[in-house]
Amino acid sequence: MINIIFWDVDGTLLNFLAAESAAVKGLFLKFGFGKCSDEMIAEYSQINKKYWKQIEKGEITKEEALRARFVEFFASHGLPVAAAEKFNAEYQVRLGDTVAYCDNSFEIVRSLRGKVKQYAASNGTVVAQKRKLKNSGLDALMDGIFLSEAVGAEKPDVRFFNAAFGFIEKSGIKIEKENTLIVGDSLTSDILGGKNAGIKTCFYNPRGEKNTSNVSPDYEIKNLNEIYDILKKA
């Protein structure tokens, strides 16, 4: 019986793409770069995903990646790459200004409070994630929040989960891996990380994208409300 859930944040509980778009578009105007079109946002999003994959593989540090993504994006549009560092710093704050829930995630997390222990587990920056979780009200519903910057390791690294397990057990809660579940939208971060840690995994796949990786989740859902059925079965 599942008694602990780790929730990924971006793309699982909260709509990251909506926050990303609003933040970049707003900062383009503030920095005097003009209008940032939806096509440009889509281009940036792909660049961003590329760098996050490199972070997950340990090929680049997060600090390097967060700056490099904007350097690459700005260079492709003839914008001053020297502004990338300042732009990124302000971007981290702006990400928390737009709150859009995936499905009815807030109500789901609230309904499970007291029935299972729930923890946020994110690779996002401390600045961005703390602001998002506070503004969304999700922070008050969680039994704990684990952010890779504070933990010292990124999902899917097992050290991220071991650190979380250690913290939870210090609070007096016994970790039973067969009764612990991670829910996330990334096969290479959340699901692989869960596999590495020996816990159950649930792939949140709202667009029904084909899994071409060699990572096989224990469960797959298209809507977060399906979590209730999993909790009944598991």
Q: What is the pLDDT along the chain (234 residues), one digit of tens a residue?
A: 999 999 999 999 999 999 999 999 999 999 999 999 999 999 999 999 999 999 999 999 999 999 999 999 999 999 999 999 999 999 999 999 999 999 999 999 999 999 999 999 999 999 999 999 999 999 999 999 999 999 999 999 999 999 999 999 999 999 999 999 999 999 999 999 999 999 999 999 999 999 999 999 999 999 999 999 999 987
**Residue range of the domain that includes 42:** 16-94
CATH code, domain carrying 183: 3.40.50.1000
pLDDT at residue number 119: 98
pLDDT at residue number 234: 76
3-state secondary structure of 109: helix
Residues 119 and 218 in one domain: yes
Q: Which candidate, 12, 76, 93, 83, places its Cα nearest to that of 39?
A: 76
Which tokens is 149 given?
């910057």
Residues 41 and 113 in one domain: no
The tally of domains found in the chain comes to 2
The strand ranges marked E within 92-213 are 117-122, 144-147, 180-184, 200-204
3-state secondary structure of 182: strand
Q: Say how far apart CA 204 and CA 196 lie, in whole Å.
A: 18
pLDDT at residue number 179: 98
Half-sphere exposure (CA, 13 Å, Cβ side) for 143?
A: 21
Active site residues: 8
